[in-house]
């Protein structure tokens, strides 16, 4: 069966809908338009204006914000004259010390490591495309970045922070630190990054650069 479907795809140049496998002629919507699958309604493509430039700028902003979000205090609490401040990593360490190792690892991956790798890959890819620099790893980086998309869960961590703050407010007054503001800004940036990334255009540009590189070799 795979042979048959490959044959159909090659001879007529159809794309399969990723959701329902309906064979479709590749649509080329203009900027501002959307292409949906006529059977299941899945959004197939939505070209964005200046997606490469936008992604490059947002990645730089995200990369810079990642450090204050991780290393500046998020919340400060004063109990009996003692000031305690919490960093992003404090939550992970607290879980680890409480014996919840698996949860600590998942929280660390989804809120620290994966967001950092995702932003770095997005910076690398959009930087290469922006400056028209071919690189043989571009396609691999792009695949990794699209897979990692599902694992970046900063907003879940923010919900945890809000719940903890509401509970702590009943005990003592809280002081919100720059780490929290940077973290909220980082969430906004990563959401804009994911929603504004025109993967069709990125793949097209990667292919163009690969061809350019092959010609020069």
Helix axes 88-97, 154-169, angle to 10 degrees: 80
Determine contact, residues 107/96, Cβ cutoff 8 Å.
no
Determine contact, residues 154/111, Cβ cutoff 8 Å.
yes
Beta bridge partners of 84: 77
Question: Which CB sits closer to Zn ion, 19 or 53?
Answer: 19
Residue 207 in the binding site for Zn ion (CB under 5 A): no
Residue 37 in the binding site for Zn ion (CB under 5 A): yes
- Tell me which residues in 6-35 interact with Zn ion (CB under 5 A): 17, 19-20, 22
Alpha carbon distance 7, 10 (integer Å): 5
Least distance in angstroms from the C-beta of 44 to Zn ion? 8
Segment holding 113, helix H or strand E: none
Look at residues 145, 124, 137 and name the one whose alpha carbon lies nearest to residue 63: 124
Residue 143 in the binding site for Zn ion (CB under 5 A): no
Question: Which CB sits closer to Zn ion, 18 or 160?
Answer: 18
Question: Which CB sits closer to Zn ion, 42 or 201?
Answer: 42
Question: Which CB sits closer to Zn ion, 42 or 110?
Answer: 42
Query: Which phi and psi angles does 98 have, rounded to 5°?
Result: -80, 5
* Number of residues near Zn ion (by CB under 5 A): 8
Cβ contacts of 170 within 8 Å, gap of 6 or more: none
**Quick one: which of 34, 39, 49, 212 contacts Zn ion (CB under 5 A)?**
39
Residue 40 in the binding site for Zn ion (CB under 5 A): yes
Residue 44 in the binding site for Zn ion (CB under 5 A): no
Least distance in angstroms from the C-beta of 22 to Zn ion? 5
Alpha carbon distance 103, 19 (integer Å): 31
- Which residues lie near Zn ion (CB under 5 A)? 17, 19-20, 22, 37, 39-40, 42
């Amino acid at each position: 069966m795979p042979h048959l479907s490959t044959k159909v795809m090659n001879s007529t140049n159809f794309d399969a809908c990723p959701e329902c496998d309906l064979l479709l002629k590749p649509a080329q919507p203009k900027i501002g338009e959307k292409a949906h699958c006529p059977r299941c309604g899945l959004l197939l493509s939505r070209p964005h204006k200046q997606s490469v430039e936008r992604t490059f700028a947002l990645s730089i902003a995200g990369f810079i914000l990642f450090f204050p979000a991780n290393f500046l205090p998020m919340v400060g609490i004063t109990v009996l004259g003692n000031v305690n401040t919490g960093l992003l990593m404090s939550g992970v360490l607290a879980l680890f010390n409480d014996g919840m190792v698996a949860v600590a690892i998942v929280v660390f991956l989804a809120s620290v490591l994966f967001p950092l790798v995702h932003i770095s890959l997005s910076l690398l890819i959009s930087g290469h495309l922006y400056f028209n620099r071919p690189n043989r790893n571009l396609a691999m980086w792009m695949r990794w970045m699209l897979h990692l998309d599902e694992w970046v869960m900063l907003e879940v961590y923010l919900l945890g922070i809000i719940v903890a703050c509401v509970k702590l407010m009943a005990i003592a007054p809280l002081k919100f630190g720059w780490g929290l503001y940077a973290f909220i800004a980082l969430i906004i940036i990563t959401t804009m990054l994911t929603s504004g990334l025109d993967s069709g255009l990125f793949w097209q540009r990667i292919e163009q650069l690969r061809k350019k590189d092959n010609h020069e070799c």
